[in-house]
Amino acid sequence: MRISKTFTLILSLCLVEIQSLVVEECSNIIENVNESILTTLTKAVVPELEGKKKGEAGKIAIVGGSIEYTGAPYFAAISALKVGSDLVFVITTETAAPVIKSYSPDLIVIPHSSKNISSLLYSKDVVVLGPGLGRAAKGLDLAYDIINICRELRKPLVIDADGLYALYKNITILKNYPSPGVILTPNNAEVKRLKEAIPLGDTNWYEYWGDYVTVLEKGEQDQYHSNFERFDWCLNEGGSGRRAGGQGDILAGSLGTFFNWALKANLCENNQSISLAQSVASYAAAKFTRRCNYKAYRSHGRSMIASDMLNEIHSTFDELFT
């Protein structure tokens, strides 16, 4: 890995004054990201708290939840909020809304049937689609409506859990999704399902949807895939063998916050800024979630549940990003 002295100096200065990181012609400077560069960039995208108005650190929408699954959207939403977004909205069903409201007064919970969804999403910085959505026809139809609305509004989108099942059932719906793009967060089983749905071709499976759809593949080793190989990476540090439900929702929610911050940091002055932002945000969320999991498991062992990971958010964030 070769980095110019100018780039190293810029990164060093940004650690002192972390408000924005602008790297001229970064596609020519960064030949391949590595953990050192990604760690520096994740710290650089975290916004200052001083002088900010409510909403400037992020307004995230979580779309999901159903009569069966109310915990998943809660874990995603509270994680996005605790990581540092100012406002988090849960857009869910009429039946799930009062249950999710009861979990936390800090979340804004809205039944999707009571509002125009386009107007709900218009002012949001990032949309996270899928946690607890379910696989019934109504849930799948909602997923497709959200994807089409986000495409029209050019919204950054994170798709997880049942949102990925909806994609599997309609694999072409993300084709040529525009900038600032989509980050998919499948586990190994979901990756296998997506691969089965994608028509055979000469390209890698994760390149099927175009330049602005990337994949954070979760597993014993997290892997990031994109159409820009120099921004791809693998991560196996941290985590544990405990696979309690809700961990993926914590990652999805935190990714929504990091994705917003990375985009607003304007990491490059050229058209590679979006691609690098997707990579940096995915790395931050993956490393953060793995560290929360490791710390919670160290305290609770086999009895660890996702709620225990929420209690590690503050200390983990300080360790990794301050």
Could you give the CA distance from residue 118 to residue 218 in angstroms, rounded to a whole number? 30
Cis before 73? omega within 30 = no
Amino acid at 206: Y
Task: Tell me the three state secondary structure of residue 212.
Answer: coil
Of the candidates 239, 244, 220, 253, the residue with the CA atom closest to the CA atom of residue 306 = 244
Q: With contact defined as beta carbons under 8 Å apart, do 11 and 268 qualify?
A: no
Give the count of beta carbons closer than 10 Å to the beta carbon of residue 67.
13
Of the candidates 165, 89, 176, the residue with the CA atom closest to the CA atom of residue 126 = 89
Could you give the CA distance from residue 90 to residue 102 in angstroms, rounded to a whole number? 13
Q: Please enumerate, by residue number, every residue annotated as part of a binding site for (6S)-NADPHX.
A: 132, 187-193, 249
Q: What share of the chain is helix, strand, coil (3-state, %, to 5)?
A: 50, 10, 35
Q: Please enumerate, by residue number, every residue annotated as part of a binding site for ATP.
A: 218-222, 239-248
Could you give the CA distance from residue 3 to residue 301 in angstroms, rounded to a whole number? 41
The two three-digit tokens of residue 112, written as one number: 């999707």
Please give the helix or strand (H or E) that residue 81 lies within, else none. Answer: helix 71-83
Q: Please enumerate, by residue number, every residue annotated as part of a binding site.
A: 132, 187-193, 218-222, 239-249
The two three-digit tokens of residue 306, written as one number: 């996702």
